Amino acid sequence: MAIVSREASFQLTVKEVSVSFGGIKAIQDVSLGVRPGQIYSIIGPNGAGKTTLFNCISGIYHADHGSILFDGVELIGMKPHKITQLGIGRAFQNIELFKGMTVLDNLMSARSFHMSYGLLRAAFYLGSCMAQEAQNRDLVEDVIEFLDLQHVRKTPVMSLSYGMQKRVELARALAMEPKILLVDEPVSGMNLEEREDMARYLIDINEEKGVTVVLIEHDMGLVMDLSETVTVLNFGMKIAEGTPGEISENPEVIKAYLGEVHT
């Protein structure tokens, strides 16, 4: 009888990952497993190491120790664009858009990660390159429609409200056709209506497009509503993992957030 390990059921496995900056241990021995199709949240106070963990998964930082597997492939040591091509998309905490460019051009430039041709190939196989360009445009138009961005498609990003820029940042990540989407504080700085819209979009991306979502967020309402599993980091260490209900009653988690234990 074949033995199926627990790890085999994970799409993303983080195993004992540690990162230091000088003397500061930003992350220490963090492990977690995300199953395909989940909405999985990572929470914790400011400076807990949440974004650093995303930076390790995306290849922006190199872990000092540990392993990060995506569909069984080791990501540590891989270049960020390779990791993107494997199917890991990222919406950044600090919006990473070309502010002077339109929404449409930002999304088209995100697609350039997926272009398989170089200049030489473009010179000899113009037809296939043009077909790929058309495919990219179709995909971008689909993302624009999915996230209700039609009315701003020709607007420079810098002219948009902050909340709308966050939505375009999500669109940029989605335009890379991720299998798994890392979303870092998607509702920070948003008003209530924008938060509700963003929650809806994340659910739709997960349910309709079948994309696994890993969410970092300080908005506990959003985390509790959306997540199947929550991991809590504090001072770079994982202090808890469980369902939203389990996490909200965990004394160590309450202490990390409030500085006291409610009995």
Ligand X SMILES: Nc1ncnc2c1ncn2[C@@H]1O[C@H](COP(=O)(O)OP(=O)(O)OP(=O)(O)O)[C@@H](O)[C@H]1O
Binding site for ligand X (CB under 6 A): 21, 24, 26, 44, 46-52, 93
Cβ atoms 227, 206 nearer than 8 A:
no
Q: Which does 46 bind (CB under 5 to 8 A by kind): Mg ion, ligand X, none?
A: ligand X
Site mask for Mg ion (CB under 5 A), range 196-235, x = bound: ----------------------------------------
Region from 89-97, 108-116, 152-160, 238-246 binding Mg ion, contact rule CB under 5 A: 89-97
Strands 73-74 and 65-70: antiparallel
Determine phi and psi for 19, rounding to 5 degrees: -140, 135
Region from 43-51, 75-83, 149-157, 243-251 binding Mg ion, contact rule CB under 5 A: 43-51
- Report, in Å, the least distance between residue 222 CB and ligand X: 14
Q: Which residues contact 146 (CB under 8 A, 6 or more apart)?
A: 174, 201, 204, 205, 209
Q: Which does 242 bind (CB under 5 to 8 A by kind): ligand X, Mg ion, none?
A: none
- Report, in Å, the least distance between residue 27 CB and Mg ion: 12
Q: Which does 48 bind (CB under 5 to 8 A by kind): ligand X, Mg ion, none?
A: ligand X
Calpha distance 25→37 (Å, rounded): 31
- Report, in Å, the least distance between residue 219 CB and ligand X: 12
- Report, in Å, the least distance between residue 49 CB and ligand X: 4
